[in-house]
A and B are shown apart, each in its own frame.
Chain A
Amino acid sequence: MKIIKSQFRLADRFTPLLVMTFGVAVFFFTATQFDIFKSFQFFFSMLQGVAFKETNFLAAMPYNFQAILVNSPYYNLSGLMISILTSYLYFVIALYYNPIRNNIVNFQLFVFFIVISEISLYFTFLTSNFFIFYSLFEFILVPFYFIVLLWGSRPNKVSASFRLVFFTLAFSLPLTTLMAFNLYNSYFSFNFEILFSTLSTNALSLQIFFYFSCFMAFAVKIPLFPAHVWLPEAHGEAPTFGSVLLAGILLKLGGYGFYQVFYEFANVISNMQIVNMFSTVYVVSLLTIFYSNIIVFNQLDIKKTIAYYSIGHMGFVTLGLISNNQEAIIGSIIIMLSHGLSAAGLFFCVGYIYEQSHSRSIIAFRALATTTPYLAITFFLFVCANISFPGTSNFIGEQMVLIGLGKISPEFTFLPIIGVLLNGFSTFLFYARIIFGEFKTSTTFVRDLNSTQIFCFFAIFIPLAFMGFYPEIIIKYF
């Protein structure tokens, strides 16, 4: 009987691993053979045939699609890097989760949603087609809705999953009209490069509409200040793997979209408009940084605290992307990658504490360092990454963003530096509240990490440190 049980455990343990490796194989397949997107050619031409009342839908090709989808090999470096991050995080999750020990109900559904989300994320980051990017950008909500709803732990998860879906859907309404508009406009195409190169030939009102709709859709995902309301709820109520994926990858969808839009858009329109665009986004992202780092002082929920930190870091990403500098843009991509790892590690640590003790209150924990030394050490490493300590790649990313801002004008760097200081202060305060202080009996519910978990946490931290000491590994490709 014991043998059968152990075999069962082995099988259960290796099914997600096999599935995730399958996902990695799919990723490499798409990375090496980009021609897979040619298969959409027929479908799009048929759609356009319907739109233009054409009988022979292959004859409708010259409008947009023939010139575009044939040129589908598209080597976007940032998308490739974020998809490598995706596969790495999914692999770590597959290592971390033992379905029996971690007590996952509905295990088949868990694997199903994980795989669906993984594959669609690869396609979003690797496609050259704006339409496919947009449709998967919206579709990715469905598996994450179920992840929050089915495997969350508190009754608040219902409203949290609702917010997760409907904020994105509501704010991407103009983008939907833009997509519909693109189908009918013979100037436009869905290819990113051709789209932005032909944008300057169109009317100014159309350019402004384009910019506005893209900004609204991606500002919710990143998220920027007024539209951030869904994020702390969703990250707080999600299960551990859900909040790891949300913070690690889903926020990068917005960042990647901003990269695609701003970087290409800034080359197209004139300087005066760039100044206007810059000032608005600069103010909004500064507001997000300050708001998230100040509100953390009043937070009592450990998961929500880390969610607010991730909001603050994504404000730096928009600052870098808007400044239209080589240094700043590379810096913001490095921030995206390193935040994907550091926030994932922090959520792993906090989720581990919650799974052990079933409490999220900061007041409940004191002096975790006495009972769980390994957890305290790994937590400290990720806290260092979170405050962008030198030696981690977060430091390099933030410095490059600040250098790029300073190239425009030195005054712009003053307020972001205050934001960095605030972030460090609040993070260390948070860490000291939980890990040090007087001993409480409630902390005895938390056991220390076992060898698998320590291995997983270090597997997340090692690339951070490696990129921190040797950043040329990313910078040399740009």
Chain B
Amino acid sequence: MINLLYDFLYYMAFGQKFEFYFFVMFSIFMMIIRIFQLVSLPIVAELYNLAFFVMVSSSLNAIIFKNFSISASSSNIFTYEVAVLKLITILFWFFLYFFIRFFYFEEFFEKSEFKLFSLDIALCGALYFVSANNLLEMFLGLELLAFPTYTLIGLEKTKAATESALKYFIYSVYGSLLLILSFIILFIATGQVSFTEFLMTTNPYLGEIAIILFCTAFMVKLGVGPFYHWAPPVYQSVSSTIFIFMSTVSKIPVLVGFIYAAQSTLLTSNSWAMYYVSSLLIIGALMAAKDLLSENNLRRILAYTSTINFTIGLLGYFLSLFNIKVFLIYTSLYLVSNLAVYIWHLSLNSDRFQKEEISSINEFKKENYFSIFILNASLVMNSGLPPVTIFFFKLIAIGSISFWSTTGLNVLGLFISIFILISSLSSYNAYFKIIKSISYRKPVDTPNMHEEVETDSFKIFSFAISTTMLSIYIFFIALHFN
């Protein structure tokens, strides 16, 4: 018994069978749910639905692909870190998943089965991606994540939705093509598709090209660099819950992809690949900052600001020579604070109204101080002004950029950090635009705008508490690295 427990703990920390044991536990949980299902509680039935797909994914992962191993050598380079990353991703995923399912259950009544089905497949894809042992598994996980998202975008059947779904499809296929191309080049160079070969190659030409293509593919998927153009129209056209899903949850596995890329031996401080990646990131941030100046739509603004903020986090991560703490803490804090804004937006403007233009978000009453205060506070928190927690990690990222590859002040790093600060200034501008329209503009005289929108303070309060707990947990996990 004790041996079994040790085995379990060992696999929890270091093993590839982590998911398997996790989902064995989960299946026991499912058995209990099945009993509840007999009493016919609808929410518990939903849980059952979730657990079924999780079981499918885990069994796929554990049984089929472990036998179908292309290379005999499994990856040994990231053991503990990847286990922790898995934990974090799974935590984020489940948290959001349950949040969407429980709190916004009403929105799923229309075409609910299909939405839930696609979300579950996306969950399978994300877990599969995180627990991948070679590059082909990674590719399969990404595709499993991308295709349900494509269907979820196009589900609305409006003209804008189909158009943006096509846009997303083309961009994501482009990204995965780049990924496949990098794998092919690697296969030509080494004859293997394993992680170790990918990251330990010292082949200066083919290896560097493979790494660059790998990073570019994930940039396309994340929407940073000059490849962010799919994000604003897609965010604008989807429904609110799918908007939350796309802008926060589906970003996490892609960030894990960057962490994989960072283990490479070819990405050193003065390498060609590093210059390429960082310059692409900066160009993208400046382009987004320029586009952001003329935007008046809330969701489009949030898309552009997420581009800028992920750029800061990624640059800090790459140019500090892979200080994973800064990256994890910055991105997770940003995602959580972003979520606060999104959920607020959702609870105020449901899909009935579609109030996304900044000038129309003004239905706050004078009595509703609490809501004004919370939304303004979350916007200020998201913008990263000095006393806010995100600011400190932004500062560390910028400091690591200005210390790039030297022990003293680097002129190139200084210029990069000033470019980045200029782009974040434009995001401050956008956030202050929103705050201004919330707290100052008088309501427009159209009949729809005066309809009462009820805000559930309990939802927001519970969400705020749980997110802070989650972020603190991630913070302390991240402190244990190195």
Give residues in A with beta carbon < 8 Å to B.
47, 49-51, 53-55, 57, 105-106, 108-109, 134-139, 141-142, 145-146, 149-150, 158, 161-162, 165-166, 169-170, 173-174, 176-177, 179-184, 203, 205-206, 209
Contacts and interface: CB of A to CB of B under 8 A. Distances in A.
A166 B395 contact: no
Q: What does DSSP make chain A's interface, helix, strand, loop or mixed?
A: helix
Given A51-B399, A173-B421, A183-B399, A138 B385 contact: yes
Contacts of A205: 409
A173 B400 CA distance: 16
B366 A106 contact: yes
Nearest to A56: B479
A146 B432 CA distance: 11
Contact of A149 (B326, B402, B439, B479): B439
A53 B325 CA distance: 8
Contacts of B325: 50, 53
A226 B481 CA distance: 48
Interface in B371-416: 380, 385-387, 391-393, 395-396, 398-400, 402-403, 408-409, 414
B188 interface: no
A162 B433 CA distance: 9
A180 B325 CA distance: 16
B31 interface: no
7 contacts: A50-B396, A50-B479, A166-B428, A173-B418, A177-B402, A184-B403, A206-B408
Contacts of B481: 53, 55
Given A135-B387, A149-B440, A203-B408, A169 B425 contact: yes
Contacts of B386: 134-139
Interface residues of B, number: 38
A358 to B, nearest CB: 19
B133 interface: no
Contacts of B432: 145, 162, 165-166
A174 B154 CA distance: 45
B399 A180 contact: yes
B417 A53 contact: no
B290 interface: no
B396 to A, nearest CB: 5
Nearest to B414: A177
Contacts, number: 105
Contacts of A141: 385
B421 A184 contact: no
B395 A179 contact: yes
Given A55-B479, A209-B409, 11 more contacts: A51-B399, A53-B481, A149-B436, A149-B439, A173-B425, A174-B418, A177-B421, A179-B395, A180-B398, A180-B399, A181-B402
B114 to A, nearest CB: 43
A65 to B, nearest CB: 14
B84 to A, nearest CB: 14
A-B pairs, top 4 by smallest CB distance, nearest first, are A180-B399, A135-B386, A180-B398, A138-B386
Nearest to B409: A206
A47 B323 CA distance: 13
B396 A177 contact: no
A50 B380 CA distance: 24
Nearest to A206: B409
Given A142-B385, A150-B440, A180 B482 contact: no
B109 interface: no
Nearest to B325: A50
Contact of A136 (B387, B403, B479): B387
B429 interface: yes
A184 B417 CA distance: 14
Given A166-B425, A184-B400, A50 B329 contact: yes
Contacts of B458: none
A173 B417 CA distance: 9
B480 interface: yes
A227 B84 CA distance: 49
Interface in B151-194: none
A239 to B, nearest CB: 14
